[in-house]
């Protein structure tokens, strides 16, 4: 078996080549937890090798994040680094700077803090971050989200292992799920992208009006916007660069209609939202809006989340993932959306991606809204798939075609 350093280097190269497809002369702006410094350095190495003009890493630190909630004065929770986010949006706008997010925070970091303080801080942050999210969801530049194993995250995934073994186990799972452990990870991603693109083409040809979900606690119809576009795997950003925005990624996804979602749905995996766990969600939609909802864990956080703004209680994304995906097959619950969303079909409340509707990039905000595209400060994925889920595609004339049975593609 290759050494950890060899695998880390292959992973970093995969991120630069397949994830970002970084071009000569581009700047790279990375965010990462301090504990991911080794990966940041390998990524930086491959970025300069690929011709990056400048690599900037912005680090987050769980210890200081926690200090704010533990020691901050009451008035301290409505501030956000708008100055920094304004600068980041500026960097992405013309596509000259690529964006890499390395995630790996403790999913329960803020679980013991005052939920009102956490909600206020998150709301301020989301609001200030909006200029950045608009550039990313609008695909102004090539971007990619990946994960690094960190001690606190590894502990949450493998609570019964020693710290060293937990960290090693999480890295091993990351290398496997991202195909970084394969002899030629870049070639493996080319094959994988081809399979996703075939599925996307099939679905786009169908022009379904809606998707119908049936499963334990789930009986849901999700209308799709008229000019919806299914996407998955590598996508072309507005700067002309084809990138893989998520590594790993097993999903195909499109745009729900913000006013045409009806029925009940249950979550099938826990969800970590800005430092707290939410589990056992059960909600009812009426005309696109969550009108009734509970969660067996983190109910307060869930309620505050969908109250962020009007669009936070409506859908912005619907994604299909076979139950047999490699991430699901690993049997690991990663407590991290990037991985868990690729283990199961999911929906997301909040902001929609303009790539999922034809011409959304050139529409006015009013036109987008009229077409059914959702908008919000947040975008939170939420797993509803399992080995017991059936999904039908509803055609323009109302006929139901089986898409998934017991969580697997029918064809």
Residue ranges in contact with its own copies by CB under 8 A: 24-25, 27, 29, 34, 37, 40-41, 44-45, 48-49, 51-59, 61, 63-64, 67-68, 70-73, 75-81, 83-88, 90-91, 97
Minimum distance of its own copies from residue 126's CB (angstroms) = 14
Angle between the 299-306 and 115-137 helix axes, to the nearest 10 degrees? 50
The CA distance from 340 to 148, in Å, is: 15
Question: For residues 141 and 328, which CB has a smaller minimum distance to its own copies in the complex?
Answer: 141
Query: In angstroms, what CA-CA distances link 191 with 157, 198, 202?
Result: 30, 11, 17
| Residue 223 Cβ vs its own copies, minimum distance, rounded to whole Å | 39
Instruction: In angstroms, give the least distance from the CB of 331 to its own copies.
Output: 36
Question: In sequence order, what DSSP letters do the residues of 333-350 get, joined into one string?
Answer: --SSHHHHGGGS-EEEEE
Q: Which is nearer to its own copies, 12 or 352 (CB)?
A: 12
Smallest distance, its own copies to C-beta of residue 45, A: 6
Structure tokens at 48: 């300069």
CB of 17 to its own copies, least distance (A): 15
Nearer to its own copies, 35 or 250 (CB): 35
b (16+ CB within 10 A) / e for 124-160: bbbbbbbbbbbbbbbbbbbbbbbbbbbbbbbbbbbee
Tell me the closest approach of the beta carbon of residue 54 to its own copies, in angstroms: 4
- Closer to its own copies by CB, 55 or 241: give it: 55
Distance CA(163)–CA(359), nearest Å, equals: 49
The Cβ of residue 288 has, within 10 Å, a number of other Cβ atoms equal to 20
Minimum gap (Å) between residue 72 Cβ and its own copies: 5
252-254/242-243 β-pairing: unpaired
User: Is the CB of 41 or the CB of 201 nearer to its own copies?
Assistant: 41
Tell me whether residue 89 or residue 360 sits nearer to its own copies (CB atom): 89
Q: Residue with structure tokens 């991606």?
A: 353
Residue recorded with tokens 């902001």: 351
Length of the chain: 411
Shortest Cβ distance from residue 81 to its own copies (Å)? 5
In angstroms, how far is the first alpha carbon of the chain from the final one?
A: 36
Least gap, CB of 73 to its own copies (angstroms)? 5
- In whole angstroms, how far apart are CA 340 and each of 177, 325, 327, 331, 334? 11, 11, 7, 10, 6
Closest CB to its own copies among 79 and 111?
79
Smaller CB separation from its own copies, 125 or 214: 125
Four-residue CA torsion sign, 355, 134, 19, 333: negative
Whose Cβ is closer to its own copies: residue 6's or residue 56's?
A: 56
On the question of a cis peptide bond just before residue 248, with omega within 30 degrees of 0, the verdict is yes
């Amino acid at each position: 078996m290759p050494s950890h350093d060899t695998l880390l280097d292959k992973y970093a190269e995969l991120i630069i080549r397949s994830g970002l497809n970084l071009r000569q002369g581009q700047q790279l702006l990375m965010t990462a937890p301090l504990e991911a410094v080794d990966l940041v350095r390998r990524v930086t190495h491959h970025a300069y090798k690929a011709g990056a003009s400048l690599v900037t890493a912005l680090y987050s630190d769980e210890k200081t994040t926690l200090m704010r909630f533990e020691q901050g004065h009451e008035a301290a929770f409505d501030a956000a680094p708008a100055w920094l986010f304004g600068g980041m949006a500026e960097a992405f706008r013309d596509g000259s700077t690529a964006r890499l997010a390395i995630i790996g925070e403790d999913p329960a970091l803020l679980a013991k803090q005052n939920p009102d303080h956490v909600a206020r801080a998150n709301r301020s942050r989301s609001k200030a971050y909006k200029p950045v999210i608009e550039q990313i969801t609008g695909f102004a530049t090539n971007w990619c989200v990946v994960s690094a194993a960190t001690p606190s995250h590894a502990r949450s995934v493998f609570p019964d292992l020693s710290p060293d073994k937990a960290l090693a186990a999480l890295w091993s799972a990351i290398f496997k799920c991202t195909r970084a452990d394969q002899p030629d990870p870049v070639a493996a991603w080319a094959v994988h992208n081809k399979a996703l693109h075939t599925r996307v083409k099939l679905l786009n040809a169908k022009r379904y009006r809606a998707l119908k979900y049936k499963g334990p606690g789930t009986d849901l119809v999700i209308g799709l916007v008229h000019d919806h576009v299914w996407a998955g795997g590598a996508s072309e950003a507005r700067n002309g660069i084809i990138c893989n925005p998520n590594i790993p990624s097993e999903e195909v996804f499109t745009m729900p209609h913000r006013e045409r979602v009806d029925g009940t749905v249950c979550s099938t995996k826990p969800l970590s939202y800005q430092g707290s766990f939410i589990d056992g969600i059960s909600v009812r939609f009426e005309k696109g809006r969550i009108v009734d909802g509970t969660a067996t864990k983190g109910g307060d956080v869930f309620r505050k989340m969908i109250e962020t703004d009007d669009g936070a209680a409506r859908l912005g994304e619907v994604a299909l993932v076979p139950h047999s995906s490699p991430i699901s097959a690993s049997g690991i619950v990663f407590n991290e959306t990037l991985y868990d969303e690729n283990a199961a079909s999911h929906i997301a409340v909040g902001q929609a991606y303009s790539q999922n509707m034809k011409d959304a990039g050139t529409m006015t905000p009013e036109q987008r809204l009229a077409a059914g595209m959702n908008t919000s400060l947040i975008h939170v994925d939420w797993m509803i798939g399992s080995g017991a889920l059936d999904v039908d595609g509803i055609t323009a004339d109302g006929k139901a075609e089986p898409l998934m049975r017991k969580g697997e593609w029918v064809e």
